[in-house]
Amino acid sequence: MNTKKFIVSYIVPISALLVIGIQFLLIKHYKLNPWKGGGFGMYSQIHYYYNDLIINDLKKPFDSIIKQDRQVASFVMDVKRTPNKNNLKHMAELVSQYAKRDSITIQIWKPSVNAETSSYTRELLIEYQFVKP
């Protein structure tokens, strides 16, 4: 068997299966968004744009913070896309500067649709509590 045929027959399919396996591992254990990294779960859930970002105990409305600062507005989409502890911590630090608060709780809620019962609910995806040191 020549080298080209060996690569096409074995190396390419094994590499593809390895990439797919790593993607599913990251989705399952590290809460990576299925839309990222090849899009293997692209249509398995509602788009992250519709996730709700809720910040508890803000005196100043969060929408006004987003309108004032493009950095915060762009970071909101990053947090919705990849809601992990590091992104939520950074978001909490940004919001605490604007809101002048020592502690903030951030929650990401994802929409959930049940086709059998025709019901729409929200599920808590992640919650982060930030306290200034």
Integer-rounded Cα radius of gyration of the chain: 20
Torsion angle (degrees, nearest 10) of CA 102, 123, 37, 26: 80
Asked if the model's pLDDT at residue 14 lies above 90, the reply is yes
Distance CA 17, CA 40 (A): 12
Distance CA 8, CA 62 (A): 53
Strand partners, 130: 104
Which has the higher per-residue pLDDT, 42 or 119? Answer: 119
Using one digit for the tens of pLDDT, what is the confidence trace for 77-117?
Answer: 888 888 888 888 888 888 787 777 788 888 888 888 887 88
Mean pLDDT, all residues of the chain = 80
Asked if the model's pLDDT at residue 61 lies above 80, the reply is no
Which residue's structure tokens are 């744009």?
49
